[in-house]
Amino acid sequence: AKAKVADAEARQKKYEADVLVAKDAAQAIEMPVRTLQFSPDGAQLIVAGDDKALHTYDSDTGKAQSVFE
């Protein structure tokens, strides 16, 4: 039971960290954000807004990686 609780807590912490990365990424774009999605492996956050570009961010660090226009 302790292992399941520890696993659930670890998943919750990862989720909370991912939400903060998404929030920071959304604030970094000057145009309104219309959609965001994590890559299947959770390593990247992809953000699209009114600037008609896709912005990718490292989901662990929150650092911008690429912009596709």
State the Cα–Cα distance between residues 38 and 56, nearest whole angstrom. Answer: 9
Residue labelled with tokens 């911008």: 64
Q: Amino acid identity of 32?
A: P
Could you read off the pLDDT of 7-48 as tens digits, one per residue?
Answer: 999 989 888 888 877 777 666 666 677 888 999 998 998 988
pTM reported for the whole predicted model: 0.57
State the DSSP code for 51.
T
Could you read off the pLDDT of 45-64 as tens digits, one per residue?
Answer: 898 888 888 888 888 888 88
State the Cα–Cα distance between residues 26 and 47, nearest whole angstrom. Answer: 7
